[in-house]
Chain A
Amino acid sequence: MTQSAPDYFEYRIKAGDSLSLIMAKFYGVGARSSNYSVYLKQIMALNPHIKDPHLIRVGSLLRLMAVPAPATAIQSAPSSPIQPFTNPFVQPSAAMCPADFGPESFVLNDVPARDELDFWMLSWLAQNSNYLVIPGSVVAGTQGNLLSGGNVRLVEQISDLYAEYKSGAITKGQYDYKRRVLLNQFKNNMGPIENWLFGNKTSHEAIRIARGGGIPATANVVRHADRLKRLASYGQHGGYVLAGVGVAASCMQIADEESRQQKNEIFVESVTSTAIGLAAGYAIGLFLVSNPVGWGTALVLAAGSAAASYGSGKFARKAYTTSGSEVDFVSGLGVDKICR
């Protein structure tokens, strides 16, 4: 099959880019140029996934005409359909175009294929962090805190008990009883995440003395204690990481948006949801001290405060949009100088 020269090339949108800037950069067309709208239409036709020329996302790909048609020609047939391209610079491959994260037919010219998935995932995370950060913080915090030193120590004590039993300090019956007490306490502390930790097994089934030869009798117990410590370290840092991701992602979203309106909407949503979340957490703390609750109620409270936080942010954004958006928080507070 004969392949003709490519009619377009692809450009990865960078932070701070706008369509005006890109057109000026590649075609030398300024925003006040008489051909501006013609070039804009041509780009929009090449990129049907862009609905609003003021909203382009950092990291997504933009098709640009390799040789733009003369302005007059375009003006004469502005709505003519764009011919399908048969020969892009690089043939797309499945590995380079993860369907879940990017347009199917787009290819990247400046990112190695092995980094492509990471790139799309990070871009997706930046745009959708709100859906992850709140529940993620709860999960990571809960996991890390439940697996803190006190609980891991309960598991480690089983090894000590076994050593006492073997040395004759305690009887078999005493060992069995104490082991059961420790595991019951561990099981109660873990609550519903016990299943997650040990699959279908209970704590009593999973944390057992090894009967096979060739390994120390306490190998299972030590292995589980080490695993719990490792998971705990992930969880304890996870809270900080997710909090950092939340702030950074909001900042990135503000930086990526072109219009002042959009920047302010994101700012209002982020600030309101954070503030309501903090206030809800505070109120829950005051409530819990006089009303000790079980796992079920604790989860309902956590989910309720997360939902209130999320909903308030969305509502605040909508209210800001429809109320005229008179106050420019982003410029006034200098957020745009930090997030750029």
Chain B
Amino acid sequence: MSLEILLKVFYGWAILLTICMVCVAATFFIHILVPKSLLKTYFKPPHFSAGEVAIFSAFPFMFMRTVMFMRIVGFPNSGKKRGLTQAYQLAPSWFRLVSKVVVGVFILASAPMFALIPYLYFGYCVVHGPC
């Protein structure tokens, strides 16, 4: 493995990480736009345990709640286990579209980004000697 190849892979990885960060930043903004009716109806037992409700209600885990509802709204089938397949009906169409795009882009970018981390690590060890 040459340094040039490793550098190209690294630049690609950096681009993927940047895309992921854009999605994260977008989610911080979307957090304040999540429909209240959606949370009021579904963010409670039996869909979420009391412990989960407590954990995902305050900083910093409240943003994970937003991510969860974005996935449920954008991809309704993902809520089967929690009985949330109908939750998307309480969200406006723009929220469904935005959720689908942001979550979809994040999944497409983050999967190779995380997969490349061990490759970069071991590639670096090969080029620069034992890590």
Contacts and interface: CB of A to CB of B under 8 A. Distances in A.
A240 B61 CA distance: 12
Contact of B78 (A146, A289, A308): A289
Contacts of B106: 282-283, 286
Contact of A284 (B54, B64, B81): B64
B8 to A, nearest CB: 13
A309 to B, nearest CB: 11
A141 B78 contact: no
Q: Mostly helix, strand, loop or mixed at chain B's interface?
A: helix
B54 A150 contact: yes
A279 B54 contact: no
B117 A312 contact: yes
Contacts of A291: 81
A315 B21 CA distance: 19
Contacts of A127: none
Interface in B3-45: 10, 17, 20-21, 23-24, 27
B94 interface: no
B71 interface: yes
Contacts of B71: 285-286, 289-290
B50 interface: yes
B51 A146 contact: yes
A197 B17 CA distance: 40
B95 to A, nearest CB: 16
Contacts, number: 115
Contact of B61 (A141, A276, A319): A141
Contacts of A130: none
A282 B67 contact: yes
A282 B27 contact: yes
A332 B23 CA distance: 24
Given A141-B60, A239-B60, A285 B68 contact: yes
Interface string B90-105: 0000000000000100
A271 B47 CA distance: 35
Q: Mostly helix, strand, loop or mixed at chain A's interface?
A: helix
Nearest to A322: B128
Contact of B58 (A137, A141, A290): A141
B55 interface: yes
Interface residues of B, number: 46
Contact-size category for A: 35 or more
B17 A279 contact: yes
A78 interface: no
Residue in B59, B81, B113 whose Cβ sees the most chain A Cβ within 10 Å: B59
Given A278-B24, A289-B68, A148 B51 contact: no
Contacts of A190: 51
B54 A151 contact: yes
A148 B54 contact: yes
B114 A283 contact: yes
Contacts of A276: 17
Contacts of B17: 275-276, 279
Interface string A317-333: 01100100000000000
Contacts of B61: 141, 145
Interface of A: 137, 141-142, 144-148, 150-151, 185, 188-191, 236, 239-240, 243, 275-276, 278-279, 281-286, 288-292, 308, 312, 315, 318-319, 322
14 contacts: A145-B54, A146-B51, A150-B53, A190-B51, A191-B51, A282-B110, A285-B65, A286-B106, A289-B82, A290-B81, A290-B82, A292-B81, A292-B82, A319-B124
Q: What are the 8 tightest A-B residue pairs by CB atom distance, in nearest-first order?
A: A285-B67, A285-B64, A289-B68, A290-B78, A145-B55, A189-B51, A279-B20, A148-B54
Interface of B: 10, 17, 20-21, 23-24, 27, 49-61, 63-69, 71-72, 78-82, 84, 103, 106-107, 110, 113-114, 117, 121, 124, 128, 131
Given A283-B106, A292-B52, A315-B124, 11 more contacts: A137-B60, A141-B60, A145-B55, A188-B50, A282-B27, A285-B63, A285-B64, A285-B68, A285-B71, A288-B64, A289-B79
